[in-house]
Structure 1
Amino acid sequence: MLRTKNLAPSKQTVLTLLAKLYDPHSETGEIEVALGSDPTLSYKLIRLINSAFFSPPRNIESLHDAIVMLGRNKLATWASLIALGQIENRPSEVLRIVLARAKMCELLAERAGLRGGDGFVVGLFSSLDLLLDQPLEVLLKPLPLAQSLRDAILMHSGALGAILKVALGYEQNLWSDITASSLPMDALREASIEALDWASSLSGLLGDS
């Protein structure tokens, strides 16, 4: 069990799950066991996959079915979002901010010819401090992230770091950070609008009890 000083047990559990989900050495069976140890998370994950948001071709009845349908990487993404959405004692708006930031980074990464999944992870993990009430440096330390992603989050370095900076600029109304991007302004506006719409449609599904 990974331990982070002064982190509440429920939040520590979420951080430990994230480490397991994003560890490239974790076996699929280990991930299934880790998810299965949280009945609420497992229930929400299966319910979400069976919802109109996914509209699966057949009913998903088990974590194994979910893994087969989504694949390892997408399963990690959606399980992470649900786990973060279950965190207690947070303002309801925080989850929407987290979702919008991650989605905008994904969209901008794809627009820049980068891997959208990496952009999503950078955006998502850059907001862990909002949800877990600890400095990002502390929260990221036990997570098995590639150094390039870690540097993008903490130092805004590289192409993904520049994308994160733009997403934060939109979030915080920092015009100088927005205009510094090499991406066309129309593309930035479209990504922002799409990300906000996506976050609004999903935040209720993830955050409800």
Structure 2
Amino acid sequence: QARTARPCRCVAPSLPTRLSQLMQGDELTRQVFLGRQAIFDVDRKVVAYELLYRMSAAAGDALTDNEDRTSHVMIDALMSIGLDRLVAGQRAFLNMDTASLLAELPLTLPPQRVVIEVLETVAPEPKVLAALRHLRDRGYRIALDDVVYQPALDPLLELAHIAKVDLPAIAAGQLADQVNALRRFNVELLAEKIETEAQFDQTRELGFTLFQGYWLARPSTVSGKRGLMRREDVLSLLARLQDPSLQTSELQALVSNNPGLSHRLLRYINSAMFYLPRRIDSIRQAVVLIGQRQIRQIASLLLLDGGETPPLELVRLTLLRARMCEQLAARVKLDADAAFTVGLLSTAEMLVDQPLTQILADMPLSEATVQAICTHHGPLGQILAAVTHYETGNFDHPALVALAELDLTARYLEAVEFVESIMAASRG
């Protein structure tokens, strides 16, 4: 029997041991909260939800100003809690201030799933109107918030699909006049802040078709957890994403080398928002499907998030595992991109401090990928098993022995060099 080459036992640290040490005293995630308030039709059936920022689980604990509200809601709705969980198959109304519109943040969202709600603080400036026309051309529906008609609103009303009429701001005897003024525009009328049955009946008789307010339903609060990211890392990523000559292969590498962004991107693109015929299992597929522009927008959202990443050493170890899985898969003619993803997600439980099965179910991934990560089943699962047993020094494990001819020590050292070069570049 041929003698099996054994890798050097002094090279690889124990990943589980290091992760256990890193977890002690380190806050890797934070609890996040979103409010949602139902919007009803004339038959009092729910047809949409407005998503609202919440600082805590208290239903009325909303942010007192607009600063960062849009970015927080979008991050949490798309990548932490999940839009599907928040609104199921209904549309989501998302508030947008001037800065969010000019930054084109809505373009990260599928137009068939959202309504862009323009806050009352947004002035009809030429740049704002151009942004709204672009959104309309892309298929987005636009609503104006807290409308009390005045001629200055005409440019916005000409672009809107829905006018949310602010009932408390209008005297009861003037509501009919407001409706008549708004009928000059091709907008659907939504009565907001309905607090009595009499208001519901009155607005319905005046031709309103959408309704929202405490009498119908108070906002509820939904919570989830968000993995944290350092702004420095996101800035470094954004700097490269701004390059118009960036090639798809380099874009794929940039995303793959950022575990936090990779996790969010896969979860986002596999959500029911996109109605994809099959699930996306690799960063390469996600990058090709979603494109550089939307990835840049998602990274911009993460920059606006104010949190911190998991410890840098945890990110390093995650990338190291993913890179080694990728290399081994390539040498045995398996899908290297999928292998990188399997390695990347195998530490997700530590990255986001949730049960691994829950994280994978929320993304979701194909059953083969889930089994590779959770049970080391299948060819990619055996690659992952070999890497994890190499990390712990269990060199006699069958999965590792089967790949011994690939010179695992050399593969590990190459992965270390690769990850260290990435870390150095991000610090530069």
Into which bin does the TM-score normalised by the smaller protein fall?
Answer: 0.5 to 0.7
| Equivalent residue, structure 2, for 1:47 | 239
Q: Which runs of 5+ in 2 are unaligned?
A: 1-28, 33-71, 84-104, 110-230, 262-301
Cα distance in 1 between the residues matched to 2:393 and 2:78? 29
Cα distance in 2 between the residues matched to 1:136 and 1:84? 15
Contact 2:390 2:400 in 1 (8 A): no
2:387 paired with 1:167: yes
Once the two structures are superposed, residues 65-123 of structure 1 have per-residue CA deviations (whole angstroms, 9 ceiling, x without a partner) of 54xx216xx64563354362887263321111001100000000011110110110000
| Equivalent residue, structure 2, for 1:34 | 108
| Equivalent residue, structure 2, for 1:99 | 319
Aligned-residue offset at 1:196? 1.2
Contact 2:259 2:319 in 1 (8 A): no
* TM-score, scaled to structure 2: 0.35
Cα distance in 2 between the residues matched to 1:14 and 1:184? 45
Matched AA of 1:142? D
**Which one of the candidate residues 338, 342, 345 is aligned to 1:125?**
345
Bigger CA drift: 92-101 or 80-89?
A: 80-89
2:421 paired with 1:201: yes
Contact 1:153 1:164 in 2 (8 A): yes
Aligned-residue offset at 1:40? 7.5
Partner-residue secondary structure (3-state), 2:397: helix
The percentage of aligned residue pairs carrying the same residue is 27
2:258 paired with 1:82: yes
Between structure 1 and structure 2, the one with the greater Rg is: 2
**Which one of the candidate residues 372, 375, 381 is aligned to 1:152?**
372
Cα distance in 2 between the residues matched to 1:181 and 1:15? 42
Aligned-residue offset at 1:190? 1.7
**Which one of the candidate residues 389, 403, 414 is aligned to 1:183?**
403
Matched AA of 1:44? S
| Equivalent residue, structure 1, for 2:79 | 16
Once the two structures are superposed, residues 148-181 of structure 1 have per-residue CA deviations (whole angstroms, 9 ceiling, x without a partner) of 1111001100111010011111222222337643
Contact 1:96 1:199 in 2 (8 A): yes
Matched AA of 1:61? D
* TM-score, scaled to structure 1: 0.66
| Equivalent residue, structure 1, for 2:132 | none
| Equivalent residue, structure 2, for 1:70 | 248
Contact 2:360 2:370 in 1 (8 A): yes
Cα distance in 1 between the residues matched to 2:350 and 2:422? 18
Matched AA of 2:388? L
Distance 1:154 1:92, change over 3 A: same
Distance 1:170 1:80, change over 3 A: same
Contact 2:387 2:400 in 1 (8 A): no
Cα distance in 2 between the residues matched to 1:14 and 1:115? 31
RMSD in angstroms over aligned alpha carbons?
Answer: 3.9
Cα distance in 1 between the residues matched to 2:358 and 2:387? 22
Partner-residue secondary structure (3-state), 2:258: helix
Partner-residue secondary structure (3-state), 1:88: coil
In terms of fraction of residues, the more helix-rich structure is: 1
- Relative contact order, higher structure (CA 8 A, sep 6+): 1
In terms of fraction of residues, the more strand-rich structure is: 2
2:292 paired with 1:114: no
Partner-residue secondary structure (3-state), 2:408: helix
Matched AA of 1:184? A
